[in-house]
Amino acid sequence: MKAKGRSQPTIAAGTWVELERVILEPGERAPGIPADTASVPFAARVRGFLVAPARRGTAAEVRTQADRVVNGKLRAVLPRNLADFGNPSPELLLVGKAMKRRLQSPSRASPAREEGRPR
């Protein structure tokens, strides 16, 4: 149980987190679904880098790996992949985007390639 009067720590911007975003409230769900399913919201879980500092359980915004900005309720910090790929490595999350930018940079053109020769 949580201690009374104790606030959640603030999570720094740029941290890998998971948000929960309600897509459909219970009253908006399709009429043909089972009652136990219809009684709960239809929600999505979205992972990304926190845009601004936030506390767990509060509204937050993330930038996904696909550069989408999504808002929702901050649910988890450094969420584990349930398919058991292990705990996320913040270093690998950051290096992937950095390498993509580096490879797409126009200044990365190789002189050998410009002349039509293989490297």
* pLDDT tens track, the chain, 119 positions: 455 556 789 999 999 999 999 999 999 999 999 999 999 999 999 999 999 999 999 999 999 989 999 999 999 999 988 777 778 888 888 887 788 888 888 775 555 555 554 54
Residue 119 lies inside a defined structural domain of this protein: no
Take residue 100 and report the two structure tokens written for it: 């993509």
Long-range contacts of the stretch 93-97 (C-beta < 8 A, 24+): 93/16, 93/49, 93/65, 96/65, 97/65
In a domain, 117, yes or no: no
- Model-level pTM? 0.72
Do the domain assignments include residue 1?
no
The domain that holds 101 is classified in CATH as 2.30.30.760
In a domain, 115, yes or no: no
Domain with 88 in it: 10-106
Instruction: For residue 118, tell me if it sits in a domain.
Output: no
Count of structural domains, the chain: 1
Query: What is the 8-class DSSP label of residue 81?
Result: B
In a domain, 5, yes or no: no
